[in-house]
Structure 1
Amino acid sequence: MDYEAYYRKSDRDGFTAYYQSIAEASPADPQATARTRDAEGTIPGEARDKLFNVAAEIKNTFHELGSPLPPLLEGCTVVDLCCGSGRDTYLAAQLVGPNGKVIGVEPNAERLAVAEKYLDKEIKQFSYDASNVELRQGVPEDLSFIPSASADVVISNCTFNLSPDKGAYLREVKRILKPEGEFYFTDVFTDRRIPQAVSDDAKAVATRLGGALFVEDFRRIAQQNGFYDPRYVMTWKTPLTDEEQALFPGIAFATITSRLINSELTCDHCEDYGEEVVYDGSLPDYPDFFLFDKDIKFPANQSCHVCDNVSVLGLGGSRYAKVITVSGNRDVHYGDIHGDHVIKTAPDFSGVVDEDDQPIQVSCC
């Protein structure tokens, strides 16, 4: 199956028009589309007090509530895709500091105009001598105005599923990320494919539901485009109105914050090289543990045996190497991190046959 084609709604020439149609179909109340919740901890503690520095109009016209902002952004170059009125852009601008940079990219001119309106005021509010924010009208599927390997982090707040070409979107994200850079974003996913007739409806997509991917298709598309080990950091059920539930009968939705590392040191399976990591406990929001994904926490100052896809956080040019130390190397390969049960449970071969003295055939499921 061509997974990218299933979700594709437009080609390169029609991306801008497609996003405009979604904006026009959006509810009058921006928060009607919000799928992330502050109460779920999606705004990190270090960013919460910085909300007071962001103009009220920016916050009131922003289409989400939570913020996918990973730790250790100081001095980084961050790209905020489909930044809307710029709330997350201006939060990130405070987290990267005066020596960092944030590029906000927004397809819709009206929403971008709100962010632009307050640019000078926001920079003064942050007490910066010069602006560290660049605002551009454009689409995530064509970021040709951003140099390759120039971004440390790319963020997106419930807008990936608006994309008319998810494959092109991810290819551009990977292109602009530095080696060991991170795509950290929040979006809605499903437990099955949404019928194309429904996902073709701009109104359904504008609710942040119609364009949602079957979570396994997302994994496949991510891996096809070089993000070999997508991780889900936080997950929670997505609230639906009765009207929305009727439009998507039987489909379960979850809002997920995902972490995709742009590293050639990762692979599509967790393999064991005997590596250990130690998190030093220095992140203000994580004094007791580092949250790698929804299933893995590194207790502070404890050595943890990890797979090759996890150890990359402390290797190479990763900014996480400031707080995570890796011991061991990749000279010796120990196989599957969990043990390969297909191999280890295989019986001794002595001519395994069925009752008709024929080789055993295995059926599906």
Structure 2
Amino acid sequence: MSGSRMATDNEKIFDSVKDYYGKVLNKTEDLKTPACISGQKVMPKHVKEAMSQVHEEVAARFYGCGLVIPEKLEGMHILDLGSGTGYDCFTLSKLVGQNGFVTGIDMTDEQLKIARDYIDYHTEKFGYNTANVKFVQGYIEKLTEAGIPENSQDIIISNCVVNLSPDKKSVISEAYKVLKAGGELYFSDVYADREVSESARKHEVLWGECISGALWWKELYHLAEEIGFSPPRLVRASEIPIEREDFKQVLGDARFVSATYRLFKLPQETQPARQVIYKGEITGFPDQLNFDHQNVFLTGDIVGVDEELSTILSASRFADEFEFQPVSKHKKDTRNNCCADKDMEVDPFDYIADRLKRGETMDKACCSQKCC
């Protein structure tokens, strides 16, 4: 496809998405599939309290597909891709505190207006002297053009938005540029178990509903490696049922999940495999830290981690939350290395099936001295 043809097709998608989220959808109940309201999980008390303080008009226009509130947020600079009316941004505004800052970027005028209208409300509600949140007009494929400086963000989140982009490689590449070294892309999105057909991709409603623009889950790993991110680490996943017969006819046998992944921008210099001890000092997580679906750190427990996870923990905002020790050579401690050499390319559909087979109703994993 020629560059001019691709640019024209992308513009059509942008216009369609703007119209869908700016004019067609007025509230959550207007959605025609569960894609943008699935994938939620039990939330820590401090996150629930922050979410409950978001203005009801902002909350009524929330179209996210999962919880995108990672751990350790105080004082962080966070960018929300496709921030909509600001629901996630205002929640994060409360959680980062007065010394943190949250930036939302969106291309839809109608949603940006609502978000900006409630900045002062939330600043006063949270008791801040000055606003610690702002909203930028722009495209998530062109963050630097929109004025987001390179190497400026500690965390980037996105909630069911990357699938709406016709150029996902540019989204992830731009995210990499604006993250600080050790920064994290923590996002929830919709993924397919195969390449979605071209005819389905041209279905405007299914695209606007976050379905037909879904990335084949394996492609995320390829893009992350190509751009320079650490391999995606699956945090949680839940299947999205397609119930309307007319949608099933368009989509064929394709299946979809809502999945949350975390990717890190790591330094070239890696750390050796080590033993780590979680201190239990992160707000809301005094007893354990569920880092991803394979790694759960219990407070005070000794856990062996491989080179990659060792590097992630020491290069990121989590560095002060762990004690780091060399791997013990004593035979009795070798079981601590239970997470080493795990295959990070996890099929989210297999993960869900395995979890259900075990009778689990929630994401649960353990990789510590007590359960390996």
Who is 1:149 aligned against? 151
Pairwise CA distance, 1:289: 2.2
**Which residue type is aligned with residue 226 of structure 1?**
G
| Structure 2 counterpart of 1:347 | none
1:227 aligns with 2:229: yes
Letter in 2 for 1:18: I
Indicate conservation of the 8 Å contact 1:279/1:298, yes or no: yes
C-alpha distance 320-16 of structure 1, shift in aligned 2 (>3 A)? farther
> 1:101: how far off?
0.6
Alignment-mate amino acid for residue 182 of structure 1: E
Shift of 1:93: 0.6
Map of 1:251 onto structure 2: 254
Superposed CA deviations along residues 61-86 of structure 1, whole A, max 9, x for unmatched, are 22226430101111010001100000
| Mapping 1:303-342, distance limit 5 Å | 303-316=302-315, 318-328=316-326, 337-338=340-341
Deviation of the 1:38 alpha carbon: 7.6
Distance in 1, Cα, partners of 2:292 & 2:157: 17
Aligned length in residues: 322
- 3-state SS, counterpart of residue 315 of structure 1: helix
Instruction: Identify the residue that residue 280 of structure 1 maps to in structure 2.
Output: 279
**Residue 357 of structure 1 corresponds to which residue in structure 2?**
none
TM-superposed deviation, 1:284? 4.2
User: What letter matches 1:185 in structure 2?
Assistant: F
Q: Distance in 1 between matches of 2:44 and 2:264?
A: 20
* 2:79–2:153 contact (8 Å) kept in structure 1: yes
- Whether 1:263 and 2:261 are equivalent positions in the alignment is no
Cα 1:148/1:276, change in 2 over 3 Å: same
Contact 1:278 1:325 in 2 (8 A): yes
The answer to whether the 8 A contact 2:44-2:284 is kept is: yes
Separation of aligned partners in 1, 2:38 and 2:253: 27
2:352 maps to which residue? Answer: none
TM-score w.r.t. the length of structure 1 is 0.81
Amino acid at match of 2:174: E
Amino acid at match of 1:280: K
1:97 Cα offset (Å): 0.6
Matched, 1:78 2:78: yes
The alpha-carbon distance between structure 1 residues 194 and 104, as it changes in their structure 2 partners (threshold 3 A), is: same
Q: 1:114 is matched with which residue?
A: 114
Q: Is 1:28 aligned with 2:30? A: no
Q: Does 1:19 align with 2:19?
A: no
Between the aligned partners of 1:214 and 1:42, the Cα distance in structure 2 is 27
Q: How does 1:174-193 map to 2 (within 5 A)?
A: 174-193=176-195
Distance of 2:136 and 2:16 partners within structure 1: 19
Instruction: Indicate if the aligned counterparts of 2:80 and 2:89 stay in contact, CA closer than 8 A.
Output: yes
- Return the index of the structure with the highest Cα Rg: 1
Instruction: Please say if residues 192 and 257 of structure 2, whose CA atoms lie closer than 8 Å, have aligned partners that are also in contact.
Output: yes
Percent identical = 28
User: SS at the partner of 1:183?
Assistant: strand
Q: CA deviation at 1:17?
A: 5.7
Taking a change above 3 Å as real, the CA distance of residues 289 and 265 of structure 1, as seen in their structure-2 partners, is: farther
Contact kept in structure 2, 1:44 and 1:69, CA below 8 Å: no
- Distance of aligned partners of 1:180 and 1:42 in 2 relative to their CA distance in 1, 3 Å threshold: farther
Post-superposition CA distance 1:256-306 (Å, at most 9, x none)? 111001113589xxxx94311211123343333221211221222111111
Displacement of 1:239: 2.9
Quick one: which amino acid aligns to residue 204 of structure 1? L
Match of 1:62 in 2: 62
2:303 is matched by which residue type in structure 1? C
C-alpha distance in 2 between matches for 1:14 and 1:213: 17
2:331 matched to which residue of 1?
A: none
Match of 1:198 among 194, 200, 208: 200
